[in-house]
Amino acid sequence: KVLETGTDSIILLKYTSDKITDLEGKPVYPGFIDPHCHFLNYGIGQSYSQLYDTKSFEEVIEILKKHNTSKTSGWIIGRGWDQNDWAIKNFPDCKKLDELFPDIPVCLLRIDGHAALANSKALELAGISAQTKINGGIVKVEGEKCTGLLIDNAMQPLLNILPIKQKAFQQNSLVLAQQNCFAVGLTSVHDTGLDPWQINLINNLQIDQQLKMRMNVMISWSDSNYNYFYDRGKIKTDYLNVRSFKCYADGALGSRGAALLEEYTDDPGNKGLLFFSYDSLQGIAKKIYGMNFQMCTHAIGDAANRQVLDVYASVLIKKNNFRWRIEHCQIVHPLDLVKFWTYTIIPSVQATHATSDMYWADERLGEERIKSAYAYKELMRRNFMIANGSDFPVENINPLYGFYAAVARKDLKGFPADGFQMENALTKQQALKAMTIWAAYAAFEENEKGSLEKNKFADFVVLDEDIMTMKSDKIPEVKVEMTVIDGEIVYKKN
């Protein structure tokens, strides 16, 4: 842990050591925390075909032809496609996949993880047909045949049979994810939705010191997972914190599954999907409240955010210290903003979503509704705090990209020149707190991490330039020199 902080002269006068590291004036920050990511799934995804930044479905096909099925037990699995980045922005279908891979099951996860394209072989193995109906999801059908597109909960039968659940595979995935995260200065992550067996795997790897990443893990909501932790209670070690449940209220904006109060501007008649009725979600909230656990709910559309805020309000009643969170908070009706303050609800956002979605979000929402989207400053002002993560692998794992997006509201190419909806930009100080002390607070860990103070964990990152004093446009170029956890160097440049 940190013994003391102070100037060189004061520290060297009070303490002696055989090993002194001179950082030569380089800036030191508390270890960065990602308060919303999919750490395990990111590691698993390293074995997938990488479909990020593809510019057409034809490019996707060319990548799939090179896929090594031995890494994924005879399947072709890919992730990262986004039809909004293609010249033809319609959702693809499975015809070409069926033609090229008639006997190999194919599963292609959209960038946001809220839609998947499967070929007929994979649909057959998953038991999905044109007649399949799944609550909270859509099996896309045309001419009485499946197109292969599955949205939100309709993906579940397919996900359940993917060959990625072997213990050894997931163990290797965790260790791989850790190394990549250390290289960008992350010392803690909040993994948003795992099952008990995966949490136990993480705990064992940490005990064996194979996994040094500190993790706050949200439990995927299900009746069986609720019963498991109802009997066992919370888990708290120096490296693992388990005290919250992850729920989903709606889908994603990119696949038009986010639940809106009014129909999509570019899809008349469609308001997206609410995954639960008000009563059902309230029932879940009461169970979580009764356990004294934290509730963290994915809500993207303004209808979903309103439903979650109202459910939280009905259970929490007044200001409190339960620290219930809404994950994403992408579109919040202005009349609902006050509820974050009234019921002490934490907005957990991802600033890079704003700079990834800004090219097409106004097409989905229209010129008026877009003003209430990605409103991070407005959200921060309600409780004078906000948590800013990445949602990786949806976005890049580098927390400095999220810092830059929050402050400059630009993509990595510097677009738009004047920033996207700059009235909702955070200051540098706010953006730094959102990935350090406020992120720690969002997991009840502000007394042990998130700042460099006496008796807190000796977790810190050394950068090659000072992000607080440099020009904002240069922030994406900053490199991590060193990452330290518990006083041990876990990453060093070169």
Does position 165 have pLDDT exceeding 80, yes or no? Answer: no
Arithmetic mean of pLDDT, 118-135:
96
For the chain, what are the domain ranges?
A: 48-159, 167-485
Helix, strand, coil tally for the chain in percent (to 5): 35, 20, 40
Reported as a single tens digit per residue, the pLDDT across 350-406 is 999 999 999 999 999 999 999 999 999 999 999 999 999 999 999 999 999 999 999
Q: How confident is the model at residue 166 (pLDDT cuts 50, 70, 90)?
A: confident
126's tokens: 């998953």
Distance CA 255, CA 298 (A): 15
Reported as a single tens digit per residue, the pLDDT across 89-104 is 999 999 999 999 999 9
Closest to 201 (Cα-Cα) out of 165, 159, 163: 165
**Mean pLDDT, the chain, whole residue set:** 96
Does position 70 have pLDDT exceeding 90, yes or no? Answer: no
pLDDT of res. 169: 86
pLDDT of res. 448: 98
pLDDT of res. 4: 95
Closest to 86 (Cα-Cα) out of 55, 51, 128, 41: 55
Q: Is 255:115 a contact under the CB 8 Å cutoff? A: yes
Q: 10 Å Cβ neighbour count for 192?
A: 25
Reported as a single tens digit per residue, the pLDDT across 294-328 is 999 999 999 999 999 999 999 999 999 999 999 99
**pLDDT above 70 as % of the chain:** 100
Least confident range of 2-11, 76-85, 161-170: 161-170
Q: Which residues contact 445 (CB under 8 A, 6 or more apart)?
A: 188, 216, 241
Structural Rg of the chain based on CA atoms: 22
pLDDT of res. 168: 85
DSSP 203-269: HHHHHTTS--SEEEEEEEP-HHHHHHHHHH--EE-SSEEEEEEEEESB--TTTT-S--SS-BTTBTT
pLDDT of res. 102: 96
CATH of 48-159, one of 3.10.310.70, 3.30.1490.100, 3.40.190.10, 3.40.50.2300: 3.10.310.70
Say which residue the tokens 């599954």 belong to.
257
For residue 84, CA distances in Å to 55, 134, 142, 300, 351 come to 9, 26, 21, 18, 19
Parallel/antiparallel/unpaired status of strands 346-349 and 387-388: parallel
Distance CA 288, CA 74 (A): 40
Does position 269 have pLDDT exceeding 90, yes or no? Answer: yes
Arithmetic mean of pLDDT, 14-30:
94
Does position 347 have pLDDT exceeding 90, yes or no? Answer: yes
Q: How confident is the model at residue 143 (pLDDT cuts 50, 70, 90)?
A: very high
Does position 87 have pLDDT exceeding 80, yes or no? Answer: yes
User: Per-residue b/e over 62-76, b at no fewer than 16 CB within 10 Å?
Assistant: ebbeebeeeebeebb
Q: Is 259:332 a contact under the CB 8 Å cutoff? A: no
As a CATH number, domain 167-485 is 3.20.20.140
Q: How confident is the model at residue 163 (pLDDT cuts 50, 70, 90)?
A: confident
Q: How confident is the model at residue 72 (pLDDT cuts 50, 70, 90)?
A: confident
